[in-house]
Amino acid sequence: MRRISEAFARCRDQGRAALVAYLAAGDPDLETTANLARAVAEGGADVLELGIPFSDPLADGSIIQAAYTRALEGGVTVKRIIEAMPRIAGESGLPLVLMTALNPVLAYGPTAFCRDAAAAGAAGLLVPDLLPEDSGPLREAAAAAGLDTVYLGAPDTSDERLAAAAVLSTGFFYLISRRGVTGPQAGVGDALDALVARARRYCRVPIAVGFGVTDSEDARRVAEVADGVIVGSAFIEAAAEALATARGAGESTASAMSSGADAVRERTEQLMDGIRQARTAVREAKR
């Protein structure tokens, strides 16, 4: 249960925020997911968040919803994802956090899910629709399997609920930057500094901020105040566009997959540039 905290500690020692890269498992297939996992790692990402596709996502915008649809239409299942995870984790070499709705976990069986996910290479678990006060059994199963548990907070989360979620988080705390759904529509919000400061009153683990981080400027903005920057839709969109373009040009499957990986690697490098600029900006501000 130290792989995630060690990744954040390494970034802290380097004087920068961590980049948490989100990918939708099985979009459009698990072979592509493994290649994209390697691409984000090569681009500089520090933690990999792997989303299990679900037919009724709660807070995902159109980009991630489309990715889930492609994956489900391609026949991806929880069992197939877990079977592919050793390769995905191995290709990236990054701590892997599974993000899933509660229903797939219940259908699989919480104890079996945590056991099999950990055996397949997962380091942590994030279940957005599971309330902290209802999470005891799953949290215990995760801890028994050696999985960190990540909880969420949002701008409209009360102090009481924010404290409850923060106290239970291990690995890191996922702070949603703004109201709404994932994607680039509205950026990271104007009250980021105050939001992170409020969360720090309760958090004993690193705070990573997601929702609306699209480009290097967004990443820089978040990295100036948070310990981690979470990016998902930007990677999924870059890969989908590159794959579609390559296939439209009549390229082979292998060539199209390579194009998708190249696009994601380039996007990762751009985001890392923004994160490193934040380190410089903070250092300059302290002079």
Residue 43 has pLDDT above 80, yes or no: yes
CA distances to 42, 220, 227 from 280, in Å: 22, 10, 15
DSSP 160-216: HHHHHHHHH--S-EEEE-SSS-SSSTTTT-S-HHHHHHHHHTT-SS-EEEESS--SH
| pLDDT grade for 75, boundaries at 50, 70 and 90 | very high
- The domains of the chain are located at 3-177+188-285
Residue 179 has pLDDT above 90, yes or no: no
Q: What is the rounded CA–CA span in Å between residue 66 and residue 72?
A: 10
Q: What is the rounded CA–CA span in Å between residue 110 and residue 281?
A: 44
Q: Span 256-269, mean pLDDT?
A: 95
| Single-letter amino acid, residue 207 | I
Catalytic residue list = 49, 60
pTM of the full predicted structure?
0.92
Residue 218 has pLDDT above 60, yes or no: yes
CA distances to 71, 239, 259, 262 from 255, in Å: 20, 13, 6, 10
Q: What pLDDT is recorded for position 55? A: 77
Residue 73 has pLDDT above 90, yes or no: yes
DSSP annotation of 136? H
Cβ 27 vs Cβ 53: under 8 Å: yes
Residue 180 has pLDDT above 50, yes or no: no
Q: Span 111-125, mean pLDDT?
A: 98
Helix (H, G, I), strand (E, B) or coil at 57: coil
Tell me the torsion sign for CA atoms 134, 135, 138, 143: negative
| pLDDT grade for 191, boundaries at 50, 70 and 90 | confident
Percentage of residues in the chain having pLDDT higher than 70:
90
- CATH 3.20.20.70 is the classification of domain 3-177+188-285: yes
Rg (CA), the chain: 18
Q: What is the rounded CA–CA span in Å between residue 166 and residue 7?
A: 19
Expressed in percent and rounded to 5, the helix, strand and coil fractions of the chain are 55, 15, 30
Which carries the bigger pLDDT value, residue 284 or residue 140?
140
Q: Span 183-210, mean pLDDT?
A: 82
Cα end-to-end distance, the chain, whole Å: 38
Percentage of residues in the chain having pLDDT higher than 90:
79
Q: What pLDDT is recorded for position 183? A: 46
Structure tokens at 215: 């480009």
Q: How many CB atoms lie within 10 A of CB 3?
A: 18
| pLDDT grade for 90, boundaries at 50, 70 and 90 | very high
Which carries the bigger pLDDT value, residue 210 or residue 177?
210
Q: What pLDDT is recorded for position 58? A: 63
Q: What pLDDT is recorded for position 287? A: 42
